[in-house]
């Protein structure tokens, strides 16, 4: 049936269903829309009528004092050297869209500031250093960027603290980044980090120096009390995030799959921290043996182990890194339980080596010995344990390609710029925080394992603080034995 038409107040015929019939073209049709900044009327109108407001930076309690002490420790190692460290910029994602900004970890360690495009300059002055933080000044009403900069303009992304507010919050000299060039001219030859734009490095003869990265990495290896508190907070929120994920497992099994659980944790991390500290890993069944299964695009199988490798990054950017492998049904099968028991024994053996005065690599070797013995016991090691553990052997690593742990802090794999002697070959000291994470990974297409083990990946990972007399397992609120994991899973399944 044809719609009946009616006449509108402007004389145009309009169908009763609301669609225009024979509508006149709008004003200025056929010309290009004017950008607001090109219209004098707009620029005059947008420049006035705004109330003043002052925003203070949101910083964790104690962050400024911690950063000041971190600068002091670096300066003690680099007496007489000028240093430039850059926060970095968000990389382009696609088109005119950028990824979310995450400041460089060395910069955050030295400043507790997370402003894109910021620069820290430490200028040698006798036996001391003068610290100046250069920040992009917010574009206030009356400036073109206030409305014209879609990446940073206040009307697009919201208001931000001014330079004076940052100076008060951080108790450090803060200047406009527009003044940076003149300062760098007086710091030619300064040591800098790779995040510093190449144009600045070239224009001011800065030197991207591995020694600076190494010194920063070594310093970050031993955490102070403030950093430890941040890591404890991140771990605590991660533990509650595991419970939130477990509550959604029935829905994931029914239809929503791995990505629903990944999204559940990521939402939790954004609510109780800055977000996930790394791409959350949710691997069900045949996906669990893939070490970094972050696609999370498969189903959650009711009868297969579900590997969850998750970590909340606190607002200070310190991150947790915890893994548990749970049974979606609430119970492991006998074969799954046997593999979990091997991993648990390896995990306990590794954690037992985390104490002051012990070589960092000792926990790796202790866990690997248990893994090799366990594989022999289930008939999956075709050579002797001694041959497998030897440097020229390593046959057991077919089922455990990755290492057994790493340092933890502002980065999930923290302190990677340290030399090998200061990392793998170092002696553990109080204040170090590291993970222990043995596992066994049997891929679904691995014909060296019996059918009942194919498609099983099991990992246990805890975050440990080295103390004066041993280690404090920060994530011990989550059980590691199979019976305890089953009981925990049953307690939290569908508990939302």
pLDDT at 84: 97
pLDDT at 22: 63
pLDDT at 5: 46
Which tokens sit at 308? 């969850």
Burial class (CB in 10 A: 0-12, 13-18, 19+), 287: buried
Residue 338 in 3-state DSSP?
helix
Helix (H) or strand (E) holding 208: strand 207-208
Provide the H-helix boundaries in 248-319.
Answer: 249-251, 257-272
Q: Tens of pLDDT along the chain (496 residues)?
A: 444 444 444 444 444 454 555 689 999 999 999 988 899 999 999 999 999 888 999 999 999 999 999 999 999 998 889 999 999 999 999 998 899 999 999 999 999 999 999 999 999 887 678 999 999 999 999 899 999 988 888 999 999 999 999 999 999 999 999 999 999 999 999 999 999 999 999 999 999 989 999 999 999 999 999 999 999 999 999 999 999 999 999 999 999 999 999 999 999 999 999 999 999 999 999 999 999 999 999 999 999 999 999 999 999 999 999 999 999 999 999 999 999 999 999 999 999 999 999 999 999 999 999 999 999 999 999 999 999 999 999 999 999 999 999 999 999 999 999 999 999 999 999 999 999 999 999 999 999 999 999 999 999 999 999 999 999 999 999 999 999 999 999 999 977 6
Residue recorded with tokens 């477990």: 246
* Cα gap 97→150, rounded to integer Å: 10
Note whether 438 and 401 are within 8 A (CB). Answer: no
Helix (H) or strand (E) holding 263: helix 257-272
Provide the H-helix boundaries in 361-448.
Answer: 362-377, 385-389
Phi and psi, residue 410, nearest 5°:
-65, -30
Domains observed in the chain: 63-219 (3.40.350.10), 222-492 (3.90.230.10)
Phi and psi, residue 36, nearest 5°:
-55, -40
Alpha carbon 391 to chain centroid, angstroms: 33
Note whether 455 and 293 are within 8 A (CB). Answer: no
Neighbours of 453 (CB within 10 A): 18
Contact residues for 194 (Cβ-Cβ < 8 A; gap 6+): 208, 213
pLDDT at 360: 97
Q: Which of 496, 491, 445 is nearest to 327 (CA)?
A: 491
pLDDT at 299: 98
Burial class (CB in 10 A: 0-12, 13-18, 19+), 80: exposed
* Cα gap 290→280, rounded to integer Å: 13
Note whether 457 and 325 are within 8 A (CB). Answer: yes
């Amino acid at each position: 049936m044809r719609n009946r038409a009616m006449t509108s107040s402007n004389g145009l015929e309009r169908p009763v269903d609301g669609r225009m019939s024979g509508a006149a073209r709008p004003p200025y049709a056929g010309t290009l829309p004017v950008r607001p900044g090109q219209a004098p009327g707009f620029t005059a109108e947008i420049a006035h009528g705004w109330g003043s407001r002052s925003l203070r930076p949101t910083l964790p309690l104690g962050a400024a004092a911690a950063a000041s002490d971190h600068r002091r420790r670096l300066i003690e190692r680099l007496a007489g050297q000028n240093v430039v460290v850059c926060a970095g910029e968000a990389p382009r994602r696609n088109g005119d869209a950028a990824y979310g900004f995450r400041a460089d970890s060395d910069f955050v360690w030295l400043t507790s500031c997370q402003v894109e495009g910021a620069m820290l300059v430490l200028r040698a002055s006798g036996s001391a250093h003068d610290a100046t933080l250069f920040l992009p000044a917010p574009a206030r009403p009356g400036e073109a960027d206030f409305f014209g900069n879609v990446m940073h303009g206040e009307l697009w992304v919201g208001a931000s603290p001014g330079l004076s507010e940052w100076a008060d919050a951080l108790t450090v000299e803060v200047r406009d980044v527009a003044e940076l060039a003149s300062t760098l001219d007086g710091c030619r030859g300064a040591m800098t980090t790779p995040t510093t734009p190449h144009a600045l490095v070239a224009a001011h003869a800065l030197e991207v120096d591995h020694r600076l990265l190494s010194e920063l990495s070594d310093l970050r290896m031993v955490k102070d009390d403030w950093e430890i508190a941040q890591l404890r907070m991140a771990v605590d929120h991660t533990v509650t995030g595991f419970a939130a994920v477990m509550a959604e497992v029935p829905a994931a099994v029914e239809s929503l799959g791995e990505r629903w659980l990944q999204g559940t944790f990521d939402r939790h991390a954004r609510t109780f921290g800055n977000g996930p500290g790394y791409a959350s890993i949710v691997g069900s069944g045949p996906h669990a043996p893939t070490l970094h299964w972050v696609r999370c695009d498969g189903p959650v199988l009711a009868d297969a182990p579900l590997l969850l490798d998750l970590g909340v990054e606190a607002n200070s950017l310190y991150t947790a890194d915890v893994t548990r492998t749970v049974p979606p049904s609430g119970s492991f099968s006998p074969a799954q339980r046997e593999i979990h028991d091997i991993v648990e024994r390896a995990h306990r053996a590794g954690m037992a080596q985390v104490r002051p005065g012990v070589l960092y690599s000792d926990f790796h070797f202790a866990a690997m010995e248990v893994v090799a013995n366990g594989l022999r016991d289930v008939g999956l090691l075709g050579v002797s344990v001694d041959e497998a553990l030897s440097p020229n052997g390593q046959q057991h690593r077919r089922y455990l390609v990755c290492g057994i742990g790493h340092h933890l802090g502002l980065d999930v794999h923290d302190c990677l710029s340290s030399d090998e002697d200061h990392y793998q070959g170092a002696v553990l000291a109080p204040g170090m925080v590291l993970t222990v994470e043995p596992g066994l990974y049997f891929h679904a297409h691995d014909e060296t394992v019996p059918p009942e083990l194919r498609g099983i990946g099991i990992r246990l990972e805890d975050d440990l603080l080295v103390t004066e007399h041993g280690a404090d397992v920060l994530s011990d609120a989550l059980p590691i034995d199979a019976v305890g994991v089953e009981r925990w899973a049953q307690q939290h399944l569908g508990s939302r």
